[in-house]
Amino acid sequence: MKCTIPEISWHNREPVLSVDVNPVSTEIYRLATSGGDSHVLIWLMTLAENGSLKQELVTDLNRHQKAVNVVRWSPSGQYLASADDDANIIIWQQKTDNIPSLEGDTGDKETWIVHKILRGHKEDIYDLCWSVDGLKLLSGSIDNTAILWNVMKGKIDHILSDHKGFVQGVAWDTKDQLIATISTDRICRLFPTNGKYVKARIHKGRLPVSSDHFLYKKDVKLQFSPDGSLLVIPSGHIEAEDCKEVVNATLVFTLDNFNESPAAILPLKHHCSTVIRFCPILFKLHENGPEPIVNLPYRMIFAVSTDHDVILYDTQQSVPFARLQEIHYTRLTDLTWSNDGRLLIASSTDGFCALITFDLDELGVPFSKEEDGVNDNVVDVSRCEVSQREENEESDKAATSDKRKEKKRQSLIEQWTQSTSKRVKIDMESKKRGVKEVEGVTEIIDDESEKKCSVPAANKIRKDINILIPRRAPSSCNINY
């Protein structure tokens, strides 16, 4: 493990508020950063064999008017979402054609254009997260609401207004079943992905919190694990009877019992935890290692940041296996992992970013379902839910079209025999041919040997109606040519 802090003025010496690595970039990492200078920057980073990194600025996006608090790539890496203190969310998309921009040459090596602008919040937006399929976006704001957006339509799907304080962090379950929010009212709420009701609330008590409390910091971000089995929540407290002071902690919940006690409590000595970020790679269990926190055939690694430290945990033990202390002069703001798990970036309000690199297999041997003979149901791939949803939609469409084909318009005589109240008296001969009277309603006898409404019976009924109900004589009319 190697930690370097490049002497780069990332955002004109303003605080670097958020960082995020494109989830589909591998050999060349595409990094997005945002800062207090109201700019969004896109960098290309190359990791050399000796662990050194080379950075290159390729795009400067300057449509925001105030500080940009958060940037997040979509799961496909095609879109970039950024949110600011002016309550605006901008969805960016790379321009791939060769048509020159109307604004002239800005010197950028890549051209990014505004795909959508989402407006609905009334105050600063603190956090964003994408859905698994990249079609929806969840945002949290200090206006005490979280909004579920339909990105393609640019409209609001639902407003989550149950919060009694600032919504600081939002997260989307990788199994596409739950969304989570954390607020300054000291409650973590779990919703279904449509956001229409609160499924669970994780809290102990409703104690008043002063406005200068650490909970009012912007940087309180929770996250689901890559396999969707865990939810790790920062800024927890341990109030034990034998402790004179409250101990800060990070709480680990399993999604099958989030209404009960945490599966693991990770205490911290001095500072509270603020940001949680999971490494996207699953690793094999250590041989003869300690008992895992949760019963899984693999282990997951996640980074926890405090104001000044970055702490690394894995799910096979309750104590950290690495700690980076005092790597910045001021507090940390965000964390992000590369897709291959070899790069971890921490941003800070001092205007710099710490680049933490790992050698190949330094964190462990990647876990493979095929080699270990694990059922596919154990580890959920994020795109499986999307493909299943598409298959369900296609099957529903096919079933609907089949029903339309099967449903034929009934003739007047069939409608009359099935649902019309009795208008004429049916003789005994007609009854023998398949018609009976039941409480004033004329209907067809269901006979296994014959069809429900046979052609001879229908013809006989038609003749009876023509005899008993005389047709109206056609009225004369004149047509002028």
d(CA 403, CA 87): 47
CATH of 2-372, one of 3.40.50.10680, 3.40.50.1360, 3.40.50.300, 2.130.10.10: 2.130.10.10
d(CA 272, CA 250): 8
Residue 368: predicted pLDDT: 86
Q: What is the DSSP letter of 156?
A: E
- The answer to whether residues 133 and 149 touch, using CB atoms and an 8 Å cutoff, is no
Residue 370: predicted pLDDT: 65
C-alpha distances out from residue 381 to 104, 168, 173, Å: 43, 27, 12
Residue 246: predicted pLDDT: 79
Tokens (6 digits) for 87: 């309550």
Task: List, as one string, the DSSP characters of 2-52.
Answer: EEE-----TTTTS-EEEEEE-TT--SEEEEEEEETTS-EEEEEEEE-TTS-
CA angle 333, 70, 344 (to 5 degrees): 50
To which residue do tokens 């609905």 refer?
120
Write out the H or E segment, with its range, that includes residue 460: helix 455-468
Write out the H or E segment, with its range, that includes residue 442: strand 441-444
d(CA 93, CA 89): 13
Walking along the chain (481 residues) 10 residues at a time, the average pLDDT comes out as: 92 96 91 97 91 91 96 97 97 80 66 96 97 97 96 95 93 96 93 92 60 56 96 86 77 86 88 95 89 88 95 93 92 96 96 95 88 49 40 50 47 45 46 44 41 51 54 43 36
Listed residue (48, 192, 50) closest to 131, CA to CA: 192
To which residue do tokens 């929806």 refer?
136
**93, β-bridge pairs:** 79, 113
d(CA 372, CA 296): 12
Give the count of beta carbons closer than 10 Å to the beta carbon of residue 72: 21
Q: Residue 443 corresponds to which amino acid?
A: E
Q: What is the DSSP letter of 383?
A: H
Give the domain ranges of the chain. Answer: 2-372, 375-407, 412-468
Give the count of beta carbons closer than 10 Å to the beta carbon of residue 283: 20
To which residue do tokens 């690495």 refer?
322
First to last CA, the chain: 96
> CB under 8 Å to 30, separation ≥6 — which residues?
21, 22, 42, 43, 44, 45, 77
